[in-house]
Structure 1
């Protein structure tokens, strides 16, 4: 029997392979595999279902990740997927795999973070599972949300001349990770050294305790604006642009000058001698929203300070970065690729 390494497909190739061989038979299944969340017809509205798994040694390092923050993040990254469908989260389930090195008190800390996230996003923890693990800590969260049928937003749907927008700022989570990894190395070489994190509080916070942007979904609802397409920025801006391009069959032009970058991110880029645009385009884990807005609706949302226009949609399926000098650079995804180093 032929054996194909998972690294040959990568995460997205594997998802496409599973999707291709999966048949849906329930008429209530509107969208299955392939978007930020599954969409199920619940009569008066659509129910949204999203699942993410965080695995120790792959998605987090407990040498610098507080358990409370980890619990919060596990919820927030799923809330982000519900927001990316223009929906509102309602419930979550949490499944957790634990090795015998974890105490009851450690589990309490994880759930303290989970409960904090539930309170913040106004969602109910309604179930889950616990199991033993021989490979460290594993947390899997499923988020359940709702969206009016007329307001659901997919990765497909972008039209020529739509405005491409991003929420918040980008690249901070990448540098938060670089700082944490650097301080870990310093500590390993000299355990008497205290980590220097205070001046990088914002960047580290963006890595350890991100937020799902449900606030933006409320802003859009108040203005009766439905994006033509949307995705959350988890694997890097370039990767998400290519997803929107593939699903919509359109191209995107992105202006480097318009990318929203915090001053602390620019300072960290200088410190680490990394081009900040590289971090923004390929860094990932920002959990901001990337959306396309029709020209007629853009007037309604352009006053929202947390939404920045960064480009536009083109009929030609060509994805480019436009530099300050006017040079056109092809967009290629170089962000985090799961399964390659597993």
Structure 2
């Protein structure tokens, strides 16, 4: 059997077997956005890592080194936000081709330091090695979460409202611009969507506000592989089903216009594109109106209600009277 047959998530499932040899030192292992470890009386320690590889996650000719550095850290901060926490430190390991200039690597680190300064996160170590082909960046992030604010994918309850924190499909639309760079696309649309793809912003401010509002926030995940894939992760972990309302999935005007230009459905970008790094989660339906009101009051943006949890396993797209079963498709490194 080759890796394409089993897929990325099948590989992870297999590798995750028999990994915990000291249960006293881990609360949550492989299977959520971060591991959760004991820390102190009030907090848990969160740990995760993410790798970016040239030609797979970024193209040097389409991204500035600052953007590459910024994004490599942002995607890790997003995992911490998806657990209800806040990042505290990172370690950076980087593989560098010998032909790369010092000035280029210095700009990558400027991007990393910029986002770390923005969120008061320390860079505390890492490793540097020579790479035979392309830049490789691996960031390990440490964070803390109050025990009362820990939100796992497995925390959804039947009858919850399913929500997201922002518009979806923007990053996939930005990638399409890179792939179709010769197209005549209005500059305002191009700049907006490329920014969303090349310099995503983690939802740390969003989770700070949601945690402050009160009780009722249950499951959380971040949208790294696409809405459909992340909804499935919550559904599987919580052993429930999810209905997503087609007409309530938020898609920006810029993404809709690009879809018209490319004659492509922007809904596909939202469901399967990935790298939007918005939060998807569930909130007790009796508490959602209060959450939505307080969220808009504090952040000035909408908390989008996009579906509900049900007691029938699976993830479904509701379009008027039609109910369509959604596959678990999302970005798969070996698919």
> In the alignment, which residue of structure 1 is the partner of 2:36?
39
- Distance in 2, matches of 1:76 and 1:225, equals 27
Asked if the contact 1:28–1:42 (Cα under 8 Å) also holds between the matched residues in 2, the reply is no
Counterpart check, 1:252 vs 2:249: no
- Distance in 2, matches of 1:132 and 1:85, equals 34
Alignment of 1:222-301 (within 5 A): 222-225=212-215, 227-301=217-291
Alignment of 1:111-260 (within 5 A): 111-183=109-181, 186=182, 197-225=187-215, 227-260=217-250
Unpaired runs of at least 5, structure 2: 296-300
> In the alignment, which residue of structure 1 is the partner of 2:326?
331
Instruction: Map Cα deviations across residues 56-93 of structure 1 (whole Å, 9 max, x no partner).
Output: 11111111011100100000000000000000111111
TM-aligned CA distance change 1:251 to 1:195, over 3 Å: closer
> In the alignment, which residue of structure 2 is the partner of 1:316?
312
TM-aligned CA distance change 1:197 to 1:111, over 3 Å: farther
Please give the TM-score of this superposition, normalised by the length of structure 1: 0.92
TM-aligned CA distance change 1:80 to 1:280, over 3 Å: same
How many residues were matched structurally? 328
Instruction: Map Cα deviations across residues 286-340 of structure 1 (whole Å, 9 max, x no partner).
Output: 00000000123313211223310100000111321011x3211111133221123
Asked if the contact 1:97–1:130 (Cα under 8 Å) also holds between the matched residues in 2, the reply is yes
Q: Report the 3-state secondary structure (helix = DSSP H, G, I; strand = E; otherwise coil) of the residue aligned with 2:37.
A: strand
Please give the TM-score of this superposition, normalised by the length of structure 2: 0.94
Pick from 2, 6, 10: which aligns with 1:5? 2
TM-aligned CA deviation for residue 196 of structure 1: 7.2
Instruction: Map Cα deviations across residues 4-31 of structure 1 (whole Å, 9 max, x no partner).
Output: 3111111111111011131231412101
Instruction: Map Cα deviations across residues 110-157 of structure 1 (whole Å, 9 max, x no partner).
Output: 001001110112211111110111121000011111011122111101
Asked if the contact 1:236–1:333 (Cα under 8 Å) also holds between the matched residues in 2, the reply is no
* CA-based RMSD: 1.6
Q: Report the 3-state secondary structure (helix = DSSP H, G, I; strand = E; otherwise coil) of the residue aligned with 2:287.
A: helix
Asked if the contact 2:50–2:138 (Cα under 8 Å) also holds between the matched residues in 1, the reply is yes
Asked if the contact 1:52–1:77 (Cα under 8 Å) also holds between the matched residues in 2, the reply is yes
- Distance in 1, matches of 2:305 and 2:118, equals 28
Asked if the contact 2:189–2:254 (Cα under 8 Å) also holds between the matched residues in 1, the reply is no
Asked if the contact 2:73–2:115 (Cα under 8 Å) also holds between the matched residues in 1, the reply is yes
- Distance in 2, matches of 1:297 and 1:327, equals 28
- Distance in 2, matches of 1:195 and 1:105, equals 32
Of 222-231 and 159-168, the range deviating more from structure 2: 222-231
> In the alignment, which residue of structure 2 is the partner of 1:99?
97
Unpaired runs of at least 5, structure 1: 188-193
- Distance in 2, matches of 1:149 and 1:23, equals 22
